């Protein structure tokens, strides 16, 4: 054991320095304390290491939980995206059906609009006289024209129906000798009878059309 006062090397079990008589017991106590301090340092280092390990473990689990949460959020977003796409597809399908319906309606309208005036009878003659004919129900248009022999006050072509509809042309004594025309339209739910009356004509013509 080394004396702390003079530095002399003594035996390990010596209690006093052989050279200067200094007590070696206190030095031994100090050595023990130093040893204890060293041991305390090792204990602190060990505790710090344990704390670091614990912190790393907690961080690892926290990161894993966060990753799982992110995956869950991604899955939720994917599901929401699929639902949105389904809604969009439904909307597209609804729009397609609506377009198809509108197209069908348009076609039906076009079919209706294809109706036109079609001839159902044509009558003509000359001179003077009268003629009675039957006209079917529906939307009817009557066209008539005549050319007189001379400009007499009584020259005429008249067409009159049992439903009160009528039309015609005539000339006065001062009228020009020329062809005159007239027309009228009516709608009836039943068959009508028409009389064609003509006088002093070179030619005359009456045509009946039905909108169908």
Q: Which residue has the higher pLDDT, 172 or 138?
A: 138
Confidence of residue 32 (pLDDT cuts 50, 70, 90): very low
Cα–Cα distance for residue pair 169/180, rounded to 1 Å: 6
Band the pLDDT of 67: cuts 50, 70, 90.
Answer: very low
Type and span of the H or E element at 78 = helix 25-113
Say yes or no to pLDDT of 10 above 90. Answer: no
Asked if 16 contacts 3 with a C-beta cutoff of 8 angstroms, the reply is no
Of 52-56, 64-68, 195-199, which has the strongest mean pLDDT? 195-199
116 φ/ψ sector (left φ>0, alpha ψ -120 to 50, else beta): beta
* pLDDT of 144 over the 90 cut: yes
Percentage of the chain exceeding pLDDT 70 = 69
0.75 surpassed by pTM: no
Report the C-alpha dihedral over residues 161, 167, 169, 170, rounded to 10 degrees. 60
Give pLDDT tens digits for 153-209: 899 999 999 999 999 999 988 889 999 999 999 999 999 999 999 999 999 999 999
Q: Among 48-52, 108-112, 154-158, which is the least confidently predicted range? A: 108-112
Q: What confidence category does residue 93 fall into, taking pLDDT thresholds of 50, 70 and 90?
A: low
Say what the pLDDT of residue 82 is: 65
How far separated are the first and last CA of the chain, in Å rounded?
A: 138
Which range has the worst mean pLDDT, 90-99, 145-154, 188-197?
A: 90-99
Over residues 91-106, mean pLDDT: 59
């Amino acid at each position: 054991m080394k004396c702390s006062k003079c530095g002399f090397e003594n035996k390990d079990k010596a209690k006093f320095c052989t050279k200067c008589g200094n007590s070696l017991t206190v030095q031994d106590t100090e050595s023990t304390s130093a040893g204890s301090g060293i041991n305390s340092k090792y204990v602190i280092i060990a505790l710090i290491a344990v704390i670091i390990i614990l912190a790393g473990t907690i961080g690892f689990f926290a990161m894993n939980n966060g990753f799982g949460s992110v995956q869950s959020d991604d899955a939720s977003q994917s599901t929401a995206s699929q639902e949105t796409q389904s809604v969009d597809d439904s909307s597209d399908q609804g729009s397609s059906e609506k377009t198809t319906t509108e197209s069908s309606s348009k076609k039906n309208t076009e079919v209706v609009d294809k109706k036109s005036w079609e001839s159902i009878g044509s009558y003509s003659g000359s001179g003077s006289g009268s003629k009675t004919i039957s006209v079917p129900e529906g939307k009817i248009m009557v066209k008539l024209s005549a050319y007189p022999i001379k400009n007499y006050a009584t020259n005429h072509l008249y067409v009159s129906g049992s439903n009160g509809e009528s039309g015609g042309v005539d000339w006065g004594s001062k009228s020009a000798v020329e062809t005159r025309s007239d027309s009228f339209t009516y709608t009836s739910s039943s068959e009508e009878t028409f009389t064609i009356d003509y006088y002093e004509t070179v030619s005359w013509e009456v045509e009946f059309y039905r909108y169908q």
